């Protein structure tokens, strides 16, 4: 079984996140959720695991990717096709005690099981739009059903839909919010995406349209989980790491994203294979020198990380792009990161006015933090991923 890089991790390829899953199931009893956090933390993989676990919770869940649609009508149609009536009916017939247990945990719900799940809720009329009737039918079908809609790439959808027709997209957001706020609602929504949803909404002045959802921020792995995952991957691939190798690999990665951990492990194994072939060693030992060689190999392939630059080029206006690149270039030069005061000083040539410079930095950091470029949770602003930092310093440093 090869190491999975970049694609959704399911089955045996999924690791840990036990506490996060417990938290999310608990919060779903009372809330709809926005699952936020930087890219490359495995949000989609976590959604898939929740979908796999949903039946045990009494729910029927569907992971729905809306990144390929760009209109409110397409969004509603995608949700509608994901959970047809016969699928819901089949779940109600077979859910048994799990469904009863879930319904009993919901607050403010007049419980009435199969044949009429809830106690009847009053639906708010959809807005005056071409998709209104489809929206009403979807709302009527799902509101009282024990359904969990895991809506992935919602930020990608919104970015395209807002560019195509902002007023119509805002009507969709308003309708979705009104639907989520109905009392006695049984269905649940969990939204996520590879682009920071909160930063996107703030950029368009639309932050209030998801402020009814609980914002659950996903973080990197803890040390123990990272080491356990790496050890299992080594065993599957037939490598025996020296005692210090995997902790050293974690230190080189810095930010314990499952993607970056697996990326460096895979590159380290490749370096180790070359070493054993050259030396004729029979034992498949993974050494710290292999980690160093693997790290250098990653940075040598510029195309591997070029999408981090291209996304900024695509999403930011030319004037703001220059300022944003100056921020990243300045931070990349320091392994310890920069204080906000130090960074502002380095940006003085790009923006001489101190008040405007501080405001522009604040605005840029909203997106850079949420998308995983930079982290400012400590006293210093720095790249959480050492691999991305060193790539940026080598290829885009200023």
Looking at residue 94, what is its pLDDT? 65
In degrees to the nearest 10, what's the CA dihedral of 254, 258, 259, 261?
50
Helix (H) or strand (E) holding 148: strand 147-152
d(CA 229, CA 252): 16
380: CB partners within 8 A, 6+ apart? 336, 337, 338, 339
Looking at residue 108, what is its pLDDT? 47
Pairing of strands 240-241, 33-36: unpaired
Phi/psi at 230 (5° precision): -65, -40
User: Residue ranges of the chain with pLDDT lower than 50?
Assistant: 1, 108-119
CA 247 to chain centre: 25
d(CA 53, CA 41): 20
Looking at residue 249, what is its pLDDT? 98
Looking at residue 48, what is its pLDDT? 92
DSSP for 348-380, please give it: TTT--SHHHHHHHHHHHHHHHHHTTS-B-SSSE
d(CA 391, CA 300): 9
d(CA 1, CA 111): 46
Looking at residue 41, what is its pLDDT? 86
d(CA 19, CA 221): 11
Mean pLDDT, rounded, of the chain: 87
Q: What share of the chain is helix, strand, coil (3-state, %, to 5)?
A: 60, 10, 35
d(CA 397, CA 155): 29
- In the chain the first and final C-alpha atoms are separated, in Å, by 41
Q: What is the pLDDT of residues 345-383, one digit of tens each?
A: 999 999 999 999 999 999 899 889 888 899 888 789 999
Looking at residue 122, what is its pLDDT? 59
Go through the domains of the chain in sequence order and give each one's CATH number: 17-217 (3.40.50.300), 223-300 (1.10.8.60), 304-396 (1.10.10)
Looking at residue 9, what is its pLDDT? 58
Q: What is the pLDDT of residues 246-255, one digit of tens each?
A: 999 999 999 9
Upper half-sphere CA count for residue 275 (Cβ side, 13 Å): 18
Q: What is the pLDDT of residues 58-72, one digit of tens each?
A: 888 999 999 999 999
Looking at residue 1, what is its pLDDT? 44
Q: What is the pLDDT of residues 196-241, one digit of tens each?
A: 788 788 888 998 999 999 999 998 999 999 999 999 999 999 999 9
Looking at residue 8, what is its pLDDT? 57
Pairing of strands 380-381, 338-339: antiparallel
Q: H-type helices in 239-382, by residue range? A: 245-253, 258-279, 288-300, 306-315, 318-332, 340-346, 354-370
Looking at residue 11, what is its pLDDT? 61
d(CA 155, CA 157): 5
- pTM over cut 0.85: no
């Amino acid at each position: 079984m090869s190491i999975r890089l970049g694609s959704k991790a399911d089955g045996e390829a999924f690791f840990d996140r036990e506490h996060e899953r417990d938290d999310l199931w608990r919060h779903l009893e009372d809330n709809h959720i926005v699952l936020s956090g930087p890219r490359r933390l495995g949000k989609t993989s976590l959604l898939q695991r929740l979908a796999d676990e949903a039946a045990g919770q009494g729910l029927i869940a569907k992971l729905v990717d809306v990144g390929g649609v760009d209109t409110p009508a397409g969004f509603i149609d995608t949700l509608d096709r994901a959970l047809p009536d016969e699928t819901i009916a089949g779940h109600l017939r077979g859910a048994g005690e799990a469904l009863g247990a879930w319904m009993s945990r919901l607050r403010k719900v007049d419980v009435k099981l199969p044949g009429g799940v809830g106690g009847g809720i009053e639906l708010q009329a959809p807005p005056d739009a071409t998709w209104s009737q489809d929206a009403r039918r979807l709302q009527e079908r799902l509101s009282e059903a024990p359904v969990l809609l895991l809506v992935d790439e919602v930020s990608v959808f919104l970015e395209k839909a807002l560019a195509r027709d902002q007023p119509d997209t805002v009507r969709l957001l308003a309708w979705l919010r009104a639907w989520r706020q109905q009392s006695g609602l049984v269905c649940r929504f969990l939204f996520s995406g590879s682009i920071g949803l909160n930063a996107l909404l703030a950029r368009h002045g639309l932050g209030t349209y998801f402020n009814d959802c609980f914002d659950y921020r996903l973080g990197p792995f803890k040390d123990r989980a990272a080491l356990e995952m790496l050890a299992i991957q080594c065993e599957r691939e037939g490598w025996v790491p020296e005692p210090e190798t995997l902790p050293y690999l974690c230190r080189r990665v810095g930010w314990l994203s499952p993607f970056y951990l697996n990326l460096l492990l895979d590159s380290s194994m490749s370096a180790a294979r070359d070493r054993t072939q050259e030396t004729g060693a029979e034992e498949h030992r993974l050494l710290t020198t292999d980690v160093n060689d693997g790290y250098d190999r990653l940075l040598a392939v510029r195309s591997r990380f070029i999408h981090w630059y291209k996304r900024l080029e695509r999403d930011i206006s030319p004037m703001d792009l220059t300022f944003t690149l100056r921020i990243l270039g300045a931070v990349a030069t320091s392994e310890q990161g920069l204080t906000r005061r130090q960074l502002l000083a380095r940006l003085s040539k790009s923006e001489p006015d101190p008040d405007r410079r501080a405001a522009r930095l604040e605005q840029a950091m909203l997106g850079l933090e949420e998308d995983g470029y930079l982290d400012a949770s400590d006293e210093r602003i720095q790249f959480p991923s050492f691999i991305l930092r060193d790539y940026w310093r080598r290829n885009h440093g200023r």
